[in-house]
């Protein structure tokens, strides 16, 4: 089984790229972030024609998450991250797919920091960690898949000081990510590629894609029962080189 996560950065604008990726790579499960469309604008017909069932939660212009399953219909278990009933931003979606619990995660960016957006990011991260701990305690075979909007270490970013004040590199979200992993989650790509940066995001500005000036902010985290099944993992960099590409590339993991 191949599971992937892809910040699509506007699903309707990138639909040809998405469909080309689905056809070429055929992930069994694909989690999408930043769909940037209200639910009525989600291109369900095109995705179903490509052979995928889909569940989704979005809003116009910003955010939005979706879970796609090849030849199957994901069964929604949660449409929001618990812990704050007033939080209306569509950043979390959870579904049962092929015997797994798959969580699609789009963590807040947090810029500018310090400020209310950064405070919201940290609160959201703590809510995610609390829910993730419950999944660990329940021994659920689960995957946390998504854009975590944190550069875990300096090894996960190209040599640069230009991001030093960015919310993605601050000590607090880095510490929150470490606490998440310490619960028992396995970072699939980093585990199998400990000596390579494995970037998943290249900003559109300053020719960063051509210079391979990337960041690793997208990840697939496996619960303890799934970690022994990890067979392969990587980044589909070719997608970032396509015309009208998202600024992210899909991250994938294969389970035995």
Catalytic residue ranges = 106, 147
- In angstroms, rounded to a whole number, what is the distance separating the alpha carbons of residues 80 and 248? 23
Q: What is the largest CA-CA distance in the chain?
A: 46
Strand order in the sheet with 52-57: 52-57, 65-70, 29-33, 2-7, 251-255, 230-235
User: Could you tell me if 225 and 139 are in contact, meaning their C-beta atoms sit under 8 angstroms apart?
Assistant: yes
Buried-exposed string 155-178: b where 16+ CB fall within 10 A, e elsewhere: ebbbeeeeeeebbbbbebbbebbe
Could you report how far apart the first and last alpha carbons of the chain are, in Å?
Answer: 7
> Residue 251 in 3-state DSSP?
strand
User: Could you tell me if 54 and 48 are in contact, meaning their C-beta atoms sit under 8 angstroms apart?
Assistant: yes
- In angstroms, rounded to a whole number, what is the distance separating the alpha carbons of residues 113 and 42? 32
């Amino acid at each position: 089984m191949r599971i992937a996560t892809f910040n699509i950065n506007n699903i309707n604008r990138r639909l040809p790229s998405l469909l080309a990726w689905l056809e070429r790579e055929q992930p069994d499960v694909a989690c999408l972030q930043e769909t940037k469309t209200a639910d009525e604008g989600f291109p369900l017909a095109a995705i179903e024609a490509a052979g995928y069932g889909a569940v989704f939660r979005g809003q116009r212009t910003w955010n939005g998450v979706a879970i796609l399953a090849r030849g199957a219909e994901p069964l929604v278990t949660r449409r929001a991250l618990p812990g704050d009933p007033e939080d209306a931003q569509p950043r979390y979606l959870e579904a049962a797919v092929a015997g797994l619990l798959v969580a699609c995660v789009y963590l807040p960016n947090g810029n500018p920091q310090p400020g209310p957006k950064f405070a919201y990011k940290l609160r959201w991260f703590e809510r995610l960690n609390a829910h993730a701990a419950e999944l660990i305690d329940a021994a659920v075979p689960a995957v946390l898949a998504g854009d975590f909007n944190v550069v875990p270490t300096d090894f996960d970013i190209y040599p640069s000081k230009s991001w030093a004040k960015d919310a993605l590199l601050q000590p607090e979200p880095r510490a929150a990510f470490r606490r998440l992993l310490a619960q028992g989650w396995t970072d699939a790509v980093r585990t199998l590629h400990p000596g390579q940066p494995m970037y998943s995001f290249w900003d559109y500005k300053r020719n960063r894609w051509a210079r391979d000036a990337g960041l690793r902010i997208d990840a697939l985290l496996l619960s303890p029962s799934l970690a022994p099944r990890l067979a392969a993992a990587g980044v589909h960099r070719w997608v970032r080189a396509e015309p009208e590409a998202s600024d992210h590339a899909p991250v994938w993991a294969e389970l035995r």
